[in-house]
A = this chain, B = another copy of it.
């Protein structure tokens, strides 16, 4: 949605307050731009009050010398001289639905601006004048800074030269900055008593912004023509041209900076998970100029001058599965600012602060409810899992009374396809079969081949691993056609398949006792429901539940130590699957079996900064509890429980609670509702779309849960190095989609593939319309591309 044209330099004018001279200084800028022989566009999106007092009228009245070059326009005009939101309410009367929505408002500005850019003969300038102060409400009542943010126009702040104006100007600037706006200039009237400009000039110079003081206009004359003449003289006397030239320079620099970024990035970065040898050149680099809600604003060097060089691109993988509420959500920014302003970072051992304590209590009352007693903070999913593993291995060692040497030969029980992060400890809890390996990776344990779930030909199918497929268990759900039925773990516990799983797991574990080369198993480690990085593998939850049960049943210890772990400490890696990524806060209620340790990260901070939390039961905690310092869990990172991250996480939790009651959630849940199945099984993706996709010739299987849609395309060569999904769906990212209705927002999609699996992920508040549009794009890409049909 953001706008940036090579041929049209646009600035949005915000006022530090109302009545600070926005229109006068904007008129001066318009005239100065015109003297440079530029075509100049002036836009007042909303005007309230009498027409003869309207700002666009003033601009035109005092631009007659340059009439041919200056175009003034107002989009929404109200005659009552009140704030736009009140004017809109009054005009709408009882019919509040008549009030223009933010989307319509922004789109109408965007369309107008694009028309101006297209119509301009040569380089042109544009000034968009806002109303009142920076946070004055727009028609819908959303304040200007938030409402205009998707356009991300560079700004000019008109400072306040009156008493109190220093404060008003700085605060307005800080509000602009909290939304990430670029402030290219500050202008204010020269005033010799309060001398605000003298204070503000060095203050903002330190912050890289030039403040220019401009003579104030003469007092208003009572006679209209005299007034006109004196105002004209005033405008003629001003020397505001240097500011205009500076704005031009900044515009040029911004474009040049963006144009230079791909080359410089190719030269300076070593990207994560990227084979640089496959990056073909500058056009393979996504230059993100800003981001807002679910969209990146991406620079495209190839666009002609009259078309915006910034293009919306849907963040179709929720930025590596982190985003809860899209990018640059004001509430998260304010939470970050609040904690930074109150604490910065304060060290954590034996210390406490409100954001960390609140978050710990929320987690214990949320995903940890009923089983967890402690929260250990760290920085990311990988470190959170390292901590979880250290906890589990120690708890096992202590209970089993293992000596130093025995402790060094412990392993984990897990599932093939697991992924727990990229630090060596987290890697060692995964099999070495996949691509995620390196010199020091030394897989320690045993990994079972799990049954998986998918939708094929419109129906849910459980695919059994080879070890079971030959048995009598060639299985399809008989009881229901609903995909949510397979997630009714409790309901399925008595089925023959549960018995088969039980037998298979028991036999395997028994066999491992005497197996060579398998270390002593000291923990069970699972990604509940979905193994993400391993290829979006939807595991049959019944299998995971039975696995936990079997491990615990085999415990020789007496079962009458309530609250103690049994069999093996069980770790749930909920880094990806937790906190509503799959539509449920935690996978634990669905599985019906609590772990002894769990890990949350990713969505935890709403997708802003790194933070992880490892939750543990009391019996795990007790394994480290003594009076010997050396027996403590000697793990910690410098920024453990950093206040900024914890506060953002608390805000995220609050926003989620609100969102869960939103119309969009309830409607999505209703679409997936099936009788007698857990209400937690639903998706933002439309069930009819999901089933329809599963019927396509190109598609092997599909699955959707919560925000996740996973499509496995047919391909002879699978695995991480396969590019088939990428090839098939390439058109979603690259092509403008002519099949969409022309008034629909055009965007490309930044989606990800794992081998022959393409997956898409929404935020928790992605607009349903956006998801529908995306479903259309996916449908067209899958249907129209025939190159990969097998």
Contact = CB atoms under 8 A, between A and B. Distances in A.
Contacts of A382: 383, 423, 637
B18 A439 contact: no
Contacts of A437: 634
Interface in A300-337: 315, 317, 319-323, 326-330, 332-334, 336-337
Interface in A406-446: 407-408, 410, 421-426, 428, 435-440, 442, 444
Given A136-B166, A272-B349, 4 more contacts: A179-B342, A273-B634, A436-B634, A439-B522
A630 interface: yes
Interface stretch (A69-77, A388-396, A559-567): A388-396
Interface stretch (A191-199, A234-242, A765-773): A191-199
B376 A270 contact: yes
Nearest to A18: B164
Residue among A267, A278, A376, A439 with the highest chain B CB neighbour number at 10 A:
A439
B608 A180 contact: no
Interface stretch (A539-547, A640-648, A707-715): A640-648
Contacts of A269: 352, 356-357, 360, 374-376
Contacts of A179: 341-342
B290 A166 contact: no
A637 B381 contact: yes
19 contacts: A15-B164, A85-B199, A174-B337, A262-B352, A272-B377, A272-B640, A278-B627, A286-B350, A286-B352, A315-B346, A319-B345, A320-B636, A328-B344, A336-B644, A345-B608, A382-B383, A410-B439, A428-B440, A610-B610
A609 B276 contact: no
A246 interface: no
B438 A352 contact: no
A274 interface: yes
Copies in the complex: 2
A637 B610 contact: yes
A256 to B, nearest CB: 13
Contacts of A340: 178, 180, 328, 332-333, 336-337, 608
Given A174-B334, A625-B277, A261 B422 contact: no
Given A171-B135, A296-B346, A328-B342, A361 B268 contact: yes
A268 B366 CA distance: 13
Contacts of A332: 340, 344
A181 to B, nearest CB: 7
A19 to B, nearest CB: 7
Contact of A625 (B135, B262, B276, B346): B276
A626 interface: yes
Interface string A123-159: 0000000001111110001011000000000000000
Given A175-B171, A407-B439, A602 B638 contact: yes
Cβ-closest 8 pairs across A and B: A180-B342, A133-B167, A272-B636, A18-B164, A424-B425, A180-B341, A327-B344, A275-B632
A21 interface: no
Contact of A272 (B333, B354, B635): B635
A667 interface: no
Contacts of A625: 275-277
B268 A360 contact: yes
A663 to B, nearest CB: 18
Contacts of A422: 383, 386, 634-637
Contacts of A381: 637-638
Interface residues of A, number: 169
Contacts of A629: 275, 278, 435, 720-721
A343 interface: yes
Nearest to A290: B342
Nearest to A368: B268
Contacts of A628: 275, 277, 721
Contacts of A467: none
Given A272-B637, A376-B270, A175 B164 contact: no
Contact of A341 (B181, B315, B374, B644): B181
A288 B343 CA distance: 8
A442 B408 contact: yes
Contact of A375 (B270, B319, B621): B270
B374 A270 contact: yes
Given A410-B439, A423-B382, A320 B347 contact: yes
Contacts of A364: 268
A348 B272 contact: yes
A393 B174 contact: no
A328 B352 contact: no
A549 to B, nearest CB: 26
A334 B616 CA distance: 36
Residue among A163, A167, A273, A627 with the highest chain B CB neighbour number at 10 A:
A167
Interface string A606-618: 0111100010100
A339 interface: yes
Residue among A320, A374, A377, A607 with the highest chain B CB neighbour number at 10 A:
A320
